[in-house]
Structure 1
């Protein structure tokens, strides 16, 4: 499944900055960063549950927010991008 993960981590203190770095590292294990706190990920159901669990373990529920969007099988029709786009086709070849 193709999902979009976004988060808003409160970075007013050093603990928040640590949570922000950890959230990014976790998300990079499952997909690619397309904006500062937005990741596109292609995962199976088990990976999806593990990703959610790992992120839930590090956030502070009183000040942080996680959002997960399931984009479905026809996700390419649902994505529109304007301006500079450094993302790559997650299903395409990685030959440089």
Structure 2
């Protein structure tokens, strides 16, 4: 299923900057960055729960925001791209 992970981390302190780096690093392990604080991740249910748990432990719920949008397995018609960066089709073979 396609999960869109979006986050907003308060970076006014060094702790906030550290949280931001940790969240981005974890998201890179699970998907592709499509905007500064937005990742598209193709995950099964177990991977989704693991990622959600990891990120939930990193953020400060009082000042940060973390959102997960489940676009499901039939996501091809649900995402429209306009602009410079085209996402990769992670379900398909990559040929270099």
User: TM-score, normalization: structure 2?
Assistant: 0.95
User: TM-score, normalization: structure 1?
Assistant: 0.95
Superposed displacement of residue 88, structure 1: 1.1
Superposed displacement of residue 73, structure 1: 2.0
- Give the SS at the match of 1:11: coil
> How do 1:1-96 and structure 2 match up within 5 A?
1-96=1-96
Q: Paired residues, what number?
A: 96
- Give the SS at the match of 1:74: coil
Superposed displacement of residue 87, structure 1: 2.1
Alignment partners' CA distance in 2, 1:25 and 1:87: 18
Q: Can you list the C-alpha shifts for 1:11-56, whole angstroms capped at 9, x where unaligned?
A: 0111101000000010111110000000000111111000000001
Runs of 4 or more, structure 1, over 6 Å off, are none
Alignment partners' CA distance in 2, 1:65 and 1:38: 12
Structure 1, unpaired ranges of 5+: none
Structure 2, unpaired ranges of 5+: none
**Two-structure CA RMSD over aligned residues (Å):** 0.9
